Amino acid sequence: MLNFKKAIKERLTKLNLPAAREAEILEELLLHVEDRYQELTTSGLNQKEAARAAVAEVCEGNILIRQLERTERRGVEPIVLGEKKARNFLMDIGPDVRFALRGMRRNPTFSLVAVLTIAVGIGANVLIFSLVERILLSSLPYPESYRLVRLIQAYPENGLATWGLSHATFARLRDGNQSFESFAAYMNAGAVMTGSEKPEYLQTARVTADFFKVFGVNPILGRTFAPDEEKAGKNVVVLSYGLWQRRFGSDSQIVGRWLTIADVPTQVIGVMPASFRFPSPTTEMWLPITLDPQAMHPFMLTGVGRLKLNVSPASATADTTRVLFNAATETPEIISRKAPPPAGAGLKTIVTPMKEYIVGKIERPLLVLQIAVGFVLLIACANVANLLLSRATKRTQEISVRLALGAAPSRIIRQLLTESLLLATFGAALGVTVAWCSLRTVTRLFGQGIPRIDEARITGNVLLATLAATVFTGLLFGSIPALRTYALGLKSGLNDAQRSIAGFANRRLNSSLVVVQLALSLVLLIGASLMLKSFKRLMAINPGFETENVLTMIVPVSPNKGKETVALQFYEKLLENLKSVPGIRNAAITSTVPFSGFVNSDSHFVEGHEPKGEEAPQAHMTVVSPGYFKSMGISLLEGRDFQDSDRDGAPLVALVDETIAHQYFPNGDAIGKRIRTGDPEWYTIIGIVSPVKDQNLAEEFDPHIYFSYQQIGFAYGPGRDQRRMYLVVNTDNPSGIVPSIRERIRMVDQNVPMYAVNTMTEVINKKLESQRLINFLLTSFSVIALLLAAIGTYGVMSLFVSSRASEFAIRGALGATPGSLLNSVLKQGLWLAGLGTLLGLAGSWALTRAIATQLFGVSTTDATIFTGTAILLIIVTVIASYSPARRAARTDPAVVLRNS
Amino acid sequence: MNEQELKRGSTEMLILALVEDRPRHGYEIAKLIESRSEGVLQFHAASLYPLLYRMEKRGLIRGRWVEKAGQRRRRYYKLTAAGQKILAEQRRTWADFFVALNRVAGISNA
């Protein structure tokens, strides 16, 4: 016969229990087996079978050991009766998810609202993070791009804050520095490509031979420039990937082909990869600079360098400043002076890390947006948390039954969290889709003003961050309601009074969440309003010229088309020709238009007011044709405009703006006085025009001097390749007139293209693109936030009203008027609004200083905005509370009391 | 609610109910469940004892070795005050549950 004791003990030993406990369990189980054996033999089983069956009931399989293990070791783990297979955390996920899905299907409205809310919150975050990730976080697409820097010079005493480099300065810096592995210079330019197809104006960059070496990028076809190509001025060109694709159909045999660029036969030597987009994404070809180390001006070059390992931008600044100072001491002309700079002069180089230079300005606005969408997400979470909390009350019964039937608390909480994580996941999936679509729209609408925005994608990193945000969100809005639901479930079977206390605690939680929502949305509203007001102020500034009806375009003439006079004749003929085009009020040419990004500054001297020392005051020089001021809507204040007779051979004349006239001739006797530039010839002032802004609306007016194009030609144009002028046309129909203008240009010279056709409004808008984007997004987000907060308020107020229905009924029965019931609910809403407003105002007061540098003409604590938005918030809250309040007022005591 | 939760919850209640009027030992409990349910509910000792220990740990029942004249000593389980409360609550919940089941599915013939 079986030895019962031995059989049981064998199994218990595995548990390694304390000896006394083991003995106790053994004794109890042994009794059971013996009793059972007795019973079985009595019922007629033979001894052997009875013994086997009795032992088997206790010892068969693993059940006893596994369950004892749980009970004896872990103590609090739940015991599962009669289970047949092991379950673990992962295996429970399937049923949990299925259960949660069933729950979502049962409450489609609830689920839809929750998922949409989360989608808005996560979508906004994905959108902004995809911009932040690409623009700010990812490095530039060049090897070891952190070593790339940009270099210009500064000499504040000489009238201009920053200067470009001259050929001579560049050569000295390149040869004398100890900081750079390689150093090059470039300048933006443009050239007309003629030949087999129609003439086309292309944006080009003139670069020194080491330019591509600095960036460490190799061409995908052919080669880049050799050192002797910058010296000899050989006619070779490197094409951008875009141009190669667009104009040459990605022809793999392109290297060696000859193109006609600026009327010069030029040989293609290479094609750069698509990722190489410097100095600008719109640069289409690179041509070598013919470097003249003796040329002391103009200062049109920008330096780019690759720092040696372990050299910081700061030490490179010190090093190159030393080289520059020595060069200026040796040859003062290198900085446009006659005497060496005194010790302690502000002459220096400015070395900026390339990435900072490219994206520095957009950094803060993007971070502000990221914080704003963070707020939107928090508000969304609070909304969903409130929804879940309101459901908590409804689910009390379900949870209490499950608890009573033996569900472990941890399982129930996990189930509730699974539900919220599932909501978050659906929301995130929808949010990513929305973000993906809106990213395309945003880059299309605002693509031009913001660096690298066209590279923004929803990348793996973005998705990873989204995943983290989703889990965070799910836990954030899910955990409080889950604990709350569980706690309420525990208290099931409580009487109504206890229930209402639990309900009260719940309502307090609801209210706190609403207050937080209202506060956060107020912060966003205030931030957005400040930005909008600032932008409105900026846009309200009169730039000094007409914007709506002025059409501008570049009309470049090839430099080698005979002499300069031939080119000037082209413009004269064109202007003459345009006079007969119906719809054109005025037309003129100019060397530059405001906000085009191209400004030519030079020193100027007024006869009798020459500076005593070495200073050379600067002014913006613009070369124009007669009629320019009329075409641009710039007022002629005194004197006369240029005439066709102000040409070569006639007395030299100039117009100045009011800024210069006021500065030198406060008595108003500027007309007839003489003024000159750095060159020795004097120009007689024949007129005074109103001032214009041409770089930044927010800044003061810069002084301007205007010259006649027939006297000064292309002296202030953009350089060798660019014998070009802007055409400005004043017309009521800017877009409709373009074909006629194109036709007239072709009539005068069929090899002259037109390029960059824009109204002045568009020119200014391009400048303000990034600000527009930030305003647009920030405003959208704050409106979304306000809507979410209003929905949240509505939900919570409805909940209040329905949970207090019997109270209202009793009050109604006791004689309270509907008006007083309405008021009592509205008062509740106002309380929430008041608290939210106070919190929001305090938050804004602390946070808006982060956008101080983005604001123009508006204080970060603008009283009108703070008051206005606070009132708006309160009004919205009252509106959101109104319909629940009406429901309370209409409570029919009889109906409610009968049902309760 | 899954089958497991149902089984575990109901078993606990059965045990509590059986030790409500007087203390009983394990074998007796197993037999009573079987006999009172007329054989519908059966209980393996392998599961019963761990469950008893667990309920004891939670303070719902208390076990004590009792020696009776002429018998080997046995461990008797007695209902505690906490167990009493839980039993009452579970009875109510189950009653509600059955009423609900009956309303919906017409299960009981009462």
Q: What was the pLDDT predicted at A202?
A: 87
Give residue-wise pLDDT tens across range A783-819: 999 999 888 888 888 878 877 777 888 888 888 888 8
Report which DSSP code applies to A858.
-
Compare CB distances from A81 to B26, B51, B57 and report the shortest one's residue: B51
Q: Do B53 and A71 touch (CB under 8 A)?
A: yes
Q: What was the pLDDT predicted at A88?
A: 54
Q: Averaging pLDDT over each range in A43-57, A388-402, A795-809, which range is the top one?
A: A43-57
φ and ψ of A576, to 5 deg: -60, -45
pLDDT over threshold 60, residue A367: yes
pLDDT over threshold 60, residue A851: yes
Give residue-wise pLDDT tens across range A754-776: 888 999 988 888 878 778 888 88
Integer Cα distance of A126 and A124 in angstroms: 6
Q: At A324, which amino acid appears?
A: L
Q: Which residues of A764-800 are buried (b: 16+ CB within 10 A; e: fewer)?
A: bbebbbbbbbbbbbbbebbebbbebbbbbbbbbbbbb
Mean pLDDT of A834-862: 89
pLDDT over threshold 60, residue A133: yes
pLDDT over threshold 90, residue A221: yes
Give A63's contacts in chain B (Cβ within 8 Å). Answer: 44, 46-47
What angle do helix axes A805-813 and A818-847 make, rounded to 10 degrees? Answer: 140
Integer Cα distance of A705 and A55 in angstroms: 111
pLDDT over threshold 80, residue A500: no
Q: Do A407 and B93 touch (CB under 8 A)?
A: no
Cis, bond preceding A279 (omega within 30 deg of 0): yes
Number of neighbouring beta carbons within 10 Å of residue A203: 19
pLDDT over threshold 80, residue A463: yes
Which residues of A, range 57-76, sit inside 8 Å of B by Cβ?
A: 57-61, 63-64, 67-68, 70-72, 75-76
Q: What was the pLDDT predicted at A80?
A: 40
Give A35's contacts in chain B (Cβ within 8 Å). Answer: 27
Q: What was the pLDDT predicted at A760?
A: 92
Give residue-wise pLDDT tens across range A632-688: 999 999 999 999 999 888 999 999 999 999 999 998 889 999 999 877 889 999 999
Q: What was the pLDDT predicted at A400?
A: 74
Q: Do A32 and B72 touch (CB under 8 A)?
A: no
Q: What was the pLDDT predicted at A83?
A: 43
Give B4's contacts in chain A (Cβ within 8 Å). Answer: 80-81, 83
pLDDT over threshold 60, residue A77: no
Q: How confident is the model at residue A314 (pLDDT cuts 50, 70, 90)?
A: very high
Integer Cα distance of A71 and A76 in angstroms: 7
Q: What was the pLDDT predicted at A560?
A: 58
Q: How confident is the model at residue A699 (pLDDT cuts 50, 70, 90)?
A: confident
Q: What was the pLDDT predicted at A721?
A: 54
Query: Which has the closest alpha carbon to A70: A54, A83, A51, A56?
Result: A83
Give residue-wise pLDDT tens across range A439-450: 988 888 776 678
Mean pLDDT of A748-759: 86
Helix (H) or strand (E) holding B61, with range, is: strand B61-66
Integer Cα distance of A420 and A403 in angstroms: 20
Number of neighbouring beta carbons within 10 Å of residue A619: 21
Number of neighbouring beta carbons within 10 Å of residue A483: 14
Integer Cα distance of A671 and A639 in angstroms: 7
What are the residue ranges in chain B where pLDDT is below 70?
Answer: 1-9, 107-110
Mean pLDDT of A193-213: 85
Q: How confident is the model at residue A499 (pLDDT cuts 50, 70, 90)?
A: low
Mean pLDDT of A469-491: 80
In terms of phi and psi (left: phi > 0; alpha: psi -120 to 50; beta: otherwise), the region of A132 is alpha
CA dihedral B89, B93, B94, B98 (to 10 degrees): 150
CA dihedral A498, A501, A503, A504 (to 10 degrees): 170
Cα diameter, chain A = 140
Integer Cα distance of A178 and A170 in angstroms: 14
Give residue-wise pLDDT tens across range A859-891: 998 999 999 999 999 999 989 888 888 888 887
Let me know: does A661 contact A635? Beta carbons within 8 Å: no
Q: Tokens standing for A612? A: 């005593």
List the single residue in A with minimal CA-CA distance to B97: A401
Query: Which has the closest alpha carbon to A408: B2, B89, B53?
Result: B2
Q: What was the pLDDT predicted at A451?
A: 83
Query: What does the H/E/C string look like for A181-246?
Result: EEEEEEEEEEEEEECCCCCEEEEEEEECCCHHHHHCCCCCEECCCCHHHHHHCCCEEEECHHHHHH
Give A79's contacts in chain B (Cβ within 8 Å). Answer: 8, 47, 50-51, 54
Percent of chain A whose predicted confidence (pLDDT) is above 70: 91
Give residue-wise pLDDT tens across range A148-190: 999 998 887 765 667 788 899 999 999 999 999 999 999 888 8
Integer Cα distance of A160 and A604 in angstroms: 13
pLDDT over threshold 90, residue A125: yes
Q: What was the pLDDT predicted at A332?
A: 84
In terms of phi and psi (left: phi > 0; alpha: psi -120 to 50; beta: otherwise), the region of B76 is beta
Q: DSSP 3-state assignment of A293?
A: coil
* Min distance B110 CA to chain A CA atoms (Å): 22
Give A24's contacts in chain B (Cβ within 8 Å). Answer: 75
Q: What was the pLDDT predicted at A82?
A: 40
Q: Would the ipTM clear 0.95, i.e. be above it?
A: no
Number of H helices, E strands in chain B: 4, 3
| pLDDT, greater one: A283 or A504 | A283
CA dihedral A334, A338, A343, A348 (to 10 degrees): -30
Mean pLDDT of A56-64: 81
Integer Cα distance of A200 and A184 in angstroms: 28
Q: Tokens standing for A594? A: 């405001």
Q: DSSP 3-state assignment of A566?
A: helix
What angle do helix axes A496-540 and A354-404 make, rounded to 10 degrees? Answer: 160
Give B98's contacts in chain A (Cβ within 8 Å). Answer: none
Cis, bond preceding A78 (omega within 30 deg of 0): no
Compare CB distances from B89 to A35, A402, A493 and report the shortest one's residue: A493
pLDDT over threshold 60, residue A410: yes
